[in-house]
Structure 1
Amino acid sequence: MSTPRARAPRRGTEKRRDDILREVLAGNGDIARLAARFGISVSTVRRDLQQLAGDGHVHRTYGGAVAGGHTAERTLDEKESGSRAQKEAIARAAAGRVADGDVVLIDAGTTTGRLARALAARSGITVVTNSTIALRHLAEAHGVELVVLGGRVRRPNGAILGPEGEETLRRLTPDLVFLGADGLHPRDGLCCPSLEQAHAKELMAARGREVFVLADASKLGAGPFPYHARPAGPWTLVTDEGAEPETVREFAATGECEVMTA
Structure 2
Amino acid sequence: MLTVERKALITDRLRRYGRLVAKAFAEEMSLSEDTIRRDLREMAADGLLERVHGGALPIKPALPDFSERRSLASDEKKRLGAAAAALVQCGQMIFLDGGTTNAEIARALPRTFGFTVVTHSPTIAAELEHHPTAEVMLIGGRLYKHSMVAVGAVAAAAIATIRPDIFFLGATGVHARHGFSTGDFEEAAIKRQIAAQSANTYVALTVEKLDRASPVSIMSLEAATGAIVGADVYEEALDMLESAGLEIIRA
* 1:258 has 2:247 as partner: yes
Match of 2:235 among 240, 245, 256: 245
Residue 149 of structure 2 aligns with which residue?
159
Residue 14 of structure 1 aligns with which residue?
none
Q: TM-score, normalised by structure 1?
A: 0.71
Q: Check conservation: 2:119, 2:138, Cα contact below 8 A.
A: yes
Q: Check conservation: 1:122, 1:144, Cα contact below 8 A.
A: no
Q: Check conservation: 2:48, 2:59, Cα contact below 8 A.
A: no
Q: Using a 3 Å threshold, how does the CA distance of structure 1 residues 167 and 81 change in structure 2: closer, same or farther? A: same
Residue 53 of structure 1 aligns with which residue?
none
Secondary structure, counterpart of 2:238 in structure 1:
helix
Residue 62 of structure 1: how far off its partner (Å): 5.7
Match of 1:127 among 110, 113, 117: 117
* 1:205 has 2:187 as partner: no
Residue 103 of structure 2 aligns with which residue?
113
Single out whichever of 113-122 and 183-192 deviates more from structure 2.
113-122
- For residues 145-196 of structure 1, the C-alpha deviation after alignment (integer angstroms, 9 at most, x for no partner) is 1111110221122111121221111111111110111111122222211111
Residue 230 of structure 1 aligns with which residue?
219
Q: Check conservation: 1:120, 1:138, Cα contact below 8 A.
A: no
The share of aligned pairs that are identical, in percent, is 26
Structure 1 unaligned blocks of 5 or more: 1-25, 29-59
Distance 2:171 2:64 in 1: 13
Secondary structure, counterpart of 1:248 in structure 2:
helix
Residue 92 of structure 1 aligns with which residue?
82
Q: Using a 3 Å threshold, how does the CA distance of structure 1 residues 130 and 27 change in structure 2: closer, same or farther? A: same
Q: Which amino acid counterpart does residue 79 of structure 1 have in structure 2?
A: R
Secondary structure, counterpart of 1:150 in structure 2:
coil
Distance 1:141 1:117 in 2: 9
Q: Equivalences for 1:76-87 in 2 at 5 Å? A: 76-87=66-77
Secondary structure, counterpart of 1:135 in structure 2:
helix
RMSD: 2.4
Q: Using a 3 Å threshold, how does the CA distance of structure 1 residues 69 and 159 change in structure 2: closer, same or farther? A: farther
Distance 1:228 1:205 in 2: 13
Residue 233 of structure 1: how far off its partner (Å): 3.3
Q: Using a 3 Å threshold, how does the CA distance of structure 1 residues 117 and 154 change in structure 2: closer, same or farther? A: same
Residue 218 of structure 1: how far off its partner (Å): 1.1
Secondary structure, counterpart of 2:223 in structure 1:
coil
Secondary structure, counterpart of 2:249 in structure 1:
strand
Distance 1:91 1:139 in 2: 18
Residue 64 of structure 1: how far off its partner (Å): 6.0
Distance 2:61 2:178 in 1: 18
Residue 183 of structure 1 aligns with which residue?
173
Distance 1:149 1:90 in 2: 25
Name the larger-Rg structure.
2
Residue 208 of structure 2 aligns with which residue?
218
Residue 71 of structure 1: how far off its partner (Å): 4.5
Q: Which amino acid counterpart does residue 209 of structure 2 have in structure 1?
A: K
Residue 54 of structure 2 aligns with which residue?
none
Q: Check conservation: 1:69, 1:226, Cα contact below 8 A.
A: no
